[in-house]
Homo-oligomer: A and B are copies of this chain.
Amino acid sequence: MLSKKAKYAMLALVHLAKHQDDGPVLISKIAEEEHIPQKFLEAILLDLKKDGTLASKKGKGGGYYLIKSPDEVNMADVMRLFDGAIALLPCVTYKYYERCEECKDEETCSIRETFMKVRNQTVEILKACTLTQLMKSEG
């Protein structure tokens, strides 16, 4: 399952993408409209800032805004940022690779191939899901 963090991040990003021309958006505004606990959202937006997806302005008239192009921001990256690996087995991940301790021989591991397929398909779908796409499909 996707964590709440990742899900809230996605909703917040869509919100910010939609208001990209309105200047900085208040955390409180996003929290209210997207039904996200504000304090929790603060931490999430901070992570997205450190990641280079968002920027912020302090003080009056401040808030958060998108600094990447909406078609550069995809759900695979967001999920990796908050939930770590997308793959279902540590031995088929790209960025978070770990050998399975109980695995006799990785080359002949019976289930590995299937979970490799699952990962590839999932990443493909999530990569294609950019903020641009999300804005379109929401109308």
In the complex, what's the smallest C-beta–C-beta distance from A33 to chain B, in angstroms? 8
**Among the listed B2, B14, B110, which residue makes an inter-chain contact with A110, where contact means beta carbons less than 8 Å apart?**
B14
Q: How far is the CA of A47 from the CA of B2 in the complex (A)?
A: 26
Q: Is the CB of A108 within 8 A of B139?
A: yes
Residues in chain B near residue A8, CB distance under 8 A: 102
Q: Is the CB of B137 within 8 A of A110?
A: yes
In the complex, what's the smallest C-beta–C-beta distance from A15 to chain B, in angstroms? 10
Q: Does A129 contact B (CB under 8 A)?
A: yes
9 contacts between A and B (CB under 8 A): A7-B89, A10-B111, A14-B110, A35-B101, A75-B114, A114-B129, A114-B134, A118-B122, A121-B122
In the complex, what's the smallest C-beta–C-beta distance from A113 to chain B, in angstroms? 6
Q: Does A67 contact B (CB under 8 A)?
A: no
Q: How far is the CA of A134 from the CA of B138 in the complex (A)?
A: 41
